[in-house]
Amino acid sequence: MSFEGEASLAEALPPKRRTAWRALRRDPMGMTGAVLVGTFVFLALLAPWIAPYDPAKIDVLNKFQSPDWNHLLGTDHLGRDLLSRIIWGARVALGIAITATGVAGAIGLILGLIAGFGPRWLDAILVLLFDSFSSLPMIMFALAIITVLGPGTQTLILVIVIISIPGYARLIRAQTLSLRMADYIQAERAIGASSARIILRHLLPNVVGPLVILLSMDIPVVIMLEAGLSYLGFGVKPPTPSWGNILYDGYTSLRAAPNMVIVAGAPLVLCTIGFTFLGEGLRDALDPKLKLRVRR
Amino acid sequence: MSVPLLAIRDLTVRYQSNDGAVEALRGVSMRAEAGEVVGIVGESGCGKSTLVAALIALLAANAEISAGTVELQGRDILRRTAAEKRALRGAEIAMVFQDSMTAFSPVLTLGTQLVDFQHNLPNLTRQDKLARAKTMLAKVGIADPALCLGRFPHQLSGGMRQRAAVAAALLMSPQVLVADEPTTALDVTMEAQILHLLRSLRAEINGTILIVTHHLGVIGELCDRVYVMYAGEVVEEATVDDLYHAPRHPYTRALIDCDPAHLATRTAVLPTIPGRPPSLVSPPKGCAFAPRCTLADAQCHSIRPPRVHISPSQAALCHKVAL
Amino acid sequence: MSALFEIDNMVVDLPLDRGLLAAFGAARRRLNILTGVSLSIGHGEMVGLVGESGSGKTTLALAMLGLTPISGGRLVFDGQVLDSARAFGALRRSTAMMFQDPVASLSPRMSVGALLYEPFIIHGLKPANRRDKIVALLEQVGLPPEIASRFPHELSGGQARRVCVARALALEPKLVVADEPTAGLDVSVQGEVLNLMTELKTRLGLSLLIISHNLAMVRHVTDRVAILYLGRLVESGPTAQVFANPRHPYTASLIAAEPQPDPRKRSQNLAVMGEIPSLFDRPQGCEFHTRCAFAQAKCRTTAPELRKTGERQVRCHFAETLDLNNRRVTHGMEH
């Protein structure tokens, strides 16, 4: 059958595909977040090379130095350079946070997809599991595990992963459930696609968007959790620098060197702001409904 | 000649879009008298939605009225302040939308909303307004108005909601009632009932009813006079009888021929109008329908067609009509 | 010649309970969507399925293709009884479905080309040249090759619909089920999709089941038609006969209710009053009796059976005594 009007058909196709990246570039808040996050990631990755001093080097004679050209942020109660400790602290904070949320996100994604798309009895069991775990108070659970296994980076990651999985799984499950009945999923079943194919090729790419946003907004939460636990002495073991440890040291030395508290608190705040802005920016950029087009 | 109740003169509306300025309406002129039912028929992209939005002053932010006026009883309603426009809506021009579900707030009962709609009538007490609402619901054919007033919109069926939407529009005693695709979302049997209802309500409305639709059947059942729109222009205006039995514009003729309800004998191959309406970003130089018209010649493609008055009640925008 | 697809007394229920126990199959409450539906589709035949909201027409389409489970009845495709997952698996190769919303039925993150080629991958077929195959499929529905790199949200409704047709035809099926193929299309272009389907039916010997609420359109393109009301088949038969001489009051009211573009044919009286009852509140006896102009006491208490006369089936106690074209009763009705 010949098709008339092909010229007007070509006109009818929209000129450029608007990608998420292009949309993000236009958003000042999102870009601010991206810059902040980028800076901290940069610091974390290059810590061994850009930190001016060894963060564990003790130099008691130079304790509580005010910021000067030798020590840009001063020194702490043991004479350790604060700038170096902050930079290495970024490595610890981001390392734990990104690893923990990444692993939790991946497991949550798989469980959520299975719960949403699989047989109803499996879903019922998984939901029971999720609900049980999320009814545990987070900090208490964390402290309990840490008491049993002893503090340390790996314990921390394990705790955070276990706590976070139900939230991610539930999100993915909800997304999957809503898409399960979508026309295009039915259409794929109608042409004979296997469940595995549907989950991997048709569901996963379409549910992962909100998860990515949630992950990026959870990273500052995990950083805070780690800082809090380290502050309490349950997190990263000294002398490994953690923003939480530095904050604790700053608190105990408040009279002698008030700048320490600010120096430890500032990166926490900036990092949180950065990830939050980035997350919001990503959410707006990935939302297809916000792409305003004039329709006839 | 008396001043028509509603007069749209040379209305031109442009949208700013990513691809440039889109001329959604190009010099549209229409009139409607009190007591008439006027139909506006056209397919997607003809501009009828823009026209409706312009009438109730709810055009999008990126739209611009570059020329023309809309006059209600001789007064220009387009160039009023926002406050005046708000007062205008409901009282002078009321609208029944295609989707009755979104016409009502989902969190308030119907009674509350119908009383709300009468806010422009200051001298009535709430009891009076409720009573008026109840009477109106009965008039639109709802079996148990008192029960209905206490219900939420989602608790009503589609047909009942559409009836309630008509009642809501009528409560304001508007001078112009605009119904935008009033039956498109309804089943055939309910559609027939709503059309019947709209016909019977003519006596209730002192003003005029405008029916905007793509469905020729709805036009045939309800309207006295019809405007056919294509690519942002009125290509033909006629009484409904002349439109169906003596159409003079090639688009009107083709449109009627395509309607499967019109075809008397069974045909396996349905007629179509090949091609697509032109892009309105760069409106065509000549006749907008020329690329798809079987009668088109060089003149049609290069020169804008004149509006030819075939009779006092019928006109067509075409070079070939005059012949 | 035996039919291509036979639906025999199909029943479809929807379980209503949720929760842990229901997930293990113990749902008590069920909503009946379809009962006693018997329909056959012959080779190279275009059958129309007409119904309004609540008629169950989309459920019927999904159930016959095994996309939603049936609670009773028998389905036979090309001589094979469809009673196992394997049988339905084989069905996928020879049938295709087109959904109501063409853009929504295409996976949003796959290009048109990938979508058209996917059926081949799924069924393990490897045509010689992927690009050529895709272009050939697009050409068959009158779309240019450039469309292959587009994504569903970048297509217009009409283009998406054609892509869905192309995809449905990819594996050269024997049966295509099309759910509201003309919904949302302007009248002037409805014909394009329908004419394409008719041409393919003639050229490829394809059978088609067209689901629609648009009677006027169904009247022209289908060979046989079946009318559903609240999940029951109320009438079926050759299209020309059913439209010329409807035997069920609902069919007659559907025909009469269509708005007429000719102002001289304005309907003065309403063909049918009332609303379609809710599925939760199914009327006793004959489902249509609450709105039927000819309802008698028997209609309120006893559900009529589907009676067969020649090529026609009607579910009405008084089908023989009603002259529906003139809206009258020809002779006395038994009570």
Residue C5 CB neighbour total at 10 angstroms: 25
How far apart, in whole angstroms, are the C-alpha atoms of residue A242 and residue A89? 4
pLDDT given at position C22: 59
Regarding beta strands C224-229 and B314-317, do their DSSP bridges make them parallel or antiparallel, or are they unpaired? Answer: unpaired
Q: Which two tokens stand for residue A249?
A: 């040291």
What is the rounded CA–CA span in Å between residue B49 and residue B41? Answer: 11
Per-residue pLDDT tens for A128-167?
999 988 888 877 887 888 888 887 788 888 888 988 899 9
- Interface residue B17 vs chain A (CB under 8 A): yes
What's the one-letter identity of residue C329?
V
Pairwise CA distance, residues C186 & C217, whole Å: 13
Q: Examine the pLDDT at A107 and tell me if it is beyond 90.
A: yes
**Chain A residue with minimal CA distance to C24?**
A121
pLDDT value at position B92?
80
Q: Where are the beta strands (DSSP E) in chain A?
A: none
Asked if A211 and A172 touch (Cβ cutoff 8 Å), the reply is yes
Amino acid identity of residue A210, one-letter, is: P
- Which range is least confidently modeled, A182-186, B264-268, C243-247? B264-268
Q: Is the peptide bond before A267 cis (omega within 30 degrees of 0)?
A: no
- Amino acid B119: pLDDT: 79
| DSSP secondary structure letters along A98-144 | HHHHHHHHHHHHHHHHHHHHS-HHHHHHHHHHHHHHHTS-HHHHHHH
Does B271 contact C213 at a Cβ distance shorter than 8 Å?
A: no
Which pLDDT band holds residue A21 (cuts at 50, 70, 90)?
A: low
| Average pLDDT, integer, range A76-81 | 81
Q: Which residue from C188, A117, C25, A190 is spatially nearest to B260, judged by alpha carbons?
A: C188
> What does DSSP assign to residue B186?
S
> Where along chain C do its domains lie?
5-248
pLDDT > 90 in chain A, percent: 20
Helices (H) and strands (E) in chain B, counts: 12, 12
Could you give the CA distance from residue B84 to residue A158 in angstroms, rounded to a whole number?
64
Coil vs helix vs strand at C208 = strand
Q: DSSP assignment of C141-194, as one string?
A: TT--GGGGG--GGGS-HHHHHHHHHHHHHTT--SEEEEESTTTT--HHHHHHHH
Please give the helix or strand (H or E) that residue C334 lies within, else none.
Answer: none
* Tokens, residue B225: 């006079």
| Minimal CA separation from C32 to chain A, in Å | 20
- The size of chain C, in residues, is 335
- Interface probe for B, chosen from C53, C188, C218, C267 (most Cβ of B below 10 Å), is C188
Rounded Cα–Cα distance for residues A156 and A171 (Å): 23
> Tell me, what's the pLDDT at A296?
26
Cα distance between residue B255 and residue B273, in whole Å:
8
Average pLDDT over chain B, rounded to an integer: 86
Q: Looking at the predicted structure, is the pLDDT value of residue A120 above 90?
A: no
ipTM over 0.90: no
Q: Where are the domains of chain A?
A: 39-286
Rg (CA), chain C: 21
Tell me how many residue pairs between chain A and chain B have CB atoms under 8 A apart: 31
Q: How far is CA A172 from CA A20, A112, A212, in A?
A: 21, 5, 11
B107-144 pLDDT tens trace: 999 999 998 888 777 788 889 899 999 998 988 888 88
Facing C23 at nearest CB: one of A6, A121, A193: A121
Look up residue A270 and give its DSSP letter.
Answer: H
Q: Quick check: A8 and B275 CB within 8 A?
A: yes
Which residues between 222 and 261 in chain B have a beta carbon less than 8 angstroms from any beta carbon of chain C?
A: 223, 240-241, 244-245, 254-256, 258-261
CA distance B34 to B24: 28
Question: Distance, in angstroms, between C80 CA and closest chain B CA?
Answer: 31
**pLDDT > 60? residue A14:** no
Single out the residue of C245, C222, C225 nearest to residue C236, CA to CA: C225
Can you say whether residue B296 is alpha, beta or left, with left for phi > 0 and alpha for psi between -120 and 50 degrees? beta
Q: Compute φ and ψ for B238, nearest 5 degrees.
A: -165, 165
Which CATH number is associated with domain C5-248? 3.40.50.300
Size of interface B-C (CB pairs under 8 A): 130
pLDDT top residue among A279 and A14 = A279
Beta-carbon separation of B275 and A5 below 8 A:
yes
Neighbour-count burial for A3-42, b at 16+ CB within 10 Å, e otherwise = bbbeeebeeeeeeeeeeeeebbeebeebeebbebbeebee
* Architecture of domain A39-286 in this structure: Orthogonal Bundle (1.10)
Averages of pLDDT over runs of 10 residues in chain C (335 residues) are 86 77 64 90 93 88 91 91 87 92 91 93 87 90 89 86 92 92 82 85 91 88 93 93 91 89 82 81 88 88 88 88 71 48
Q: Which two tokens stand for residue C2?
A: 């035996």
CA C40 to chain CA centroid, Å, is 12
Structure tokens at C264: 């001289």
Q: What is the pLDDT of residue C118?
A: 94
Residue B240: alpha-carbon gap to chain centroid? 15
Instruction: State how far the Cα of C215 lies from the Cα of A35, in Å rounded to an integer.
Output: 60
> Subunits with at least 3 CB pairs below 8 A relative to chain C?
A, B
pLDDT of residue C333: 47
Contact between chains at C221 and B268 (C-beta distance less than 8 A): yes
